[in-house]
Amino acid sequence: MNASDPALQNLIDRVLAAQATGTSLNICGGGSKSFYGEAPLGEPLHTMALAGISSYEPSELVVTARAGTTLVELESVLAERGQCLPFEPPHFVTHGSTGATVGGMVAAGLSGPPRASVGAVRDYVLGASLLNGKGEVLSFGGQVMKNVAGYDVSRLLAGSMGTLGVILEVSLKVLPMAPATATLRFQLEQVAALDKLNLWGGQPLPLNASAWWDGTLLVRLRGALAAVQAAITGMGGDVIEPAHASPFWDGLRNHTDEYFTKAQKAVAGGSVSLWRMSLPPTAKPLILPGEQLLEWHGAQRWLCTSASAAKVREAALRAGGHATLFMAQHKAGGAFAPLKAPLDRIHRDLKTAFDPAGVFNPGRLYPGL
């Protein structure tokens, strides 16, 4: 980052003033994930002025973009060179935002349908620049895969929800678009669908994404043409035409498909909450009221339910995972699963190291963080 950049200097001035006066700042990008986590608190600190792609080396599979760059712009530039962000970060443009940004993508740490097959946001972060609570610009990582200098702080920022500082710029690994894609449909109940997914997961198949809801399992294949064609033959099922399959996967990614639009309306009515559960793929179906949608070959399960936070979290814990209150009118039980004492201490120590005055996004993760 250029220290003489007016947009950067404005952020530094705001942070120094907030530190001096004890003012809290709410870091704002496109606003696409303002519903996620605990309620935002503090004066808005906008990052949209930090926009633009700083550098792009298609032959090296690396792009560096400023935090306020929209994902629409970044992915459009990558697509022109036949490349992409393979983890398909959600845009959530329907939540009253101006568009998801690179900084928000990293801060929220959310990945789309292929996450179980290709990795998460944090796996593609090579380096980052950060404005800490002292008004200092810090740089971590770099623009190459093998970077062993110092701690891997750049990946630590993924999922930090802006509590450690203002993400200024990010270097990301990108990948070529797959030469072939196909979607298969199967009519299966949840137990049978999980069995199939676990069976296929142990085979050399080009599995990319999956989704089960209401008796229907959809599986997306991606890879070399020969591998995709062989998988279609071996797995069976009905091949869905791309004209119908692509909108479905986009809807799943951005929560605009039927399951999520129904859930959002129900949540707005105040009768239910939408939960995001991380479980072992082999976990049996959870016996809880409400509708469930399974992603990531069974590892991510969505639940729209009237059940209490205690019951949902207890069920997830028994299954070997945890649950996040993704969307709700009230989050009295906390948005994120409670941390055990050692992890809680590490989180608080990191917060103190990067933001000693507690300026940034207070309480967005947990009380005091």
Q: Which domains, and CATH codes, for the chain?
A: 6-176+346-354 (3.30.465.10), 180-254 (3.30.70), 259-327 (3.30.70)
Query: What are 26's strand-pairing partners?
Result: 44
Mean pLDDT of the chain: 94
Q: pLDDT in tens for each of the 369 residues of the chain?
A: 776 789 999 999 999 999 999 999 999 999 999 999 999 999 999 999 999 999 999 999 999 999 999 999 999 999 999 999 999 999 997 655 678 999 999 999 999 999 999 999 999 999 999 999 999 999 998 765 555 455 678 889 999 999 999 999 999 999 999 999 999 999 999 999 999 999 999 999 999 999 999 999 999 999 999 999 999 999 999 999 999 999 999 999 999 999 999 999 999 998 899 999 999 999 999 999 999 999 999 999 999 999 999 999 999 999 999 999 999 999 988 999 999 999 999 999 999 999 999 999 999 999 878
**Shortest CA distance to 200 belongs to which of 117, 301, 319?**
117
What's the pLDDT at 126?
96
* Tens-digit pLDDT profile for residues 89-143: 999 976 556 789 999 999 999 999 999 999 999 999 999 999 999 999 999 987 6
Judge contact between 310 and 333, C-beta under 8 A: yes
pTM for the predicted model, two decimal places: 0.94
Q: Is the dihedral of CA 183, 225, 281, 152 positive or negative?
A: negative
The encoded tokens of residue 358 equal 């507690």
* Tens-digit pLDDT profile for residues 241-258: 999 999 999 999 999 999
Reading phi first (left if > 0) and then psi (alpha if -120 to 50, else beta), residue 153 is in: alpha
What's the pLDDT at 23?
97
Three-class DSSP category at 124: helix
SS (H, E, C) the chain: CCCCCHHHHHHHHHHHHHHHHCCCEEEECCCCCCCCCCCCCCEEEECCCCCCEEEEEHHHCEEEEECCCEHHHHHHHHHHCCEECCCCCCCCCCCCCCCCEHHHHHHHCCCCCCHHHHCCHHHHEEEEEEECCCCCEEEEECCCCCCCCCCCHHHHCCCCCCCCCEEEEEEEECEECCCEEEEEEEECCHHHHHHHHHHHHCCCCCEEEEEEECCEEEEEEEECHHHHHHHHHHHCCEEECHHHHHHHHHHHHHCCCHHHHHHHHHHHCCCCEEEEEECCCCCCCCCCCCEEEEEHHHCEEEEEECCCHHHHHHHHHHCCCEEEEEECCCCCCCCCCCCCHHHHHHHHHHHHHHCCCCCECCCCCCCCC
The alpha carbons of the chain give a radius of gyration, in whole angstroms, of 21
Question: What's 189's DSSP letter?
Answer: -
Question: What residues contact 106, with CB distance under 8 A and at least 6 apart?
Answer: 121, 125, 128, 157, 158, 167, 170
341 CB-contact burial (10 Å; exposed 0-12 / middle 13-18 / buried 19+) = exposed
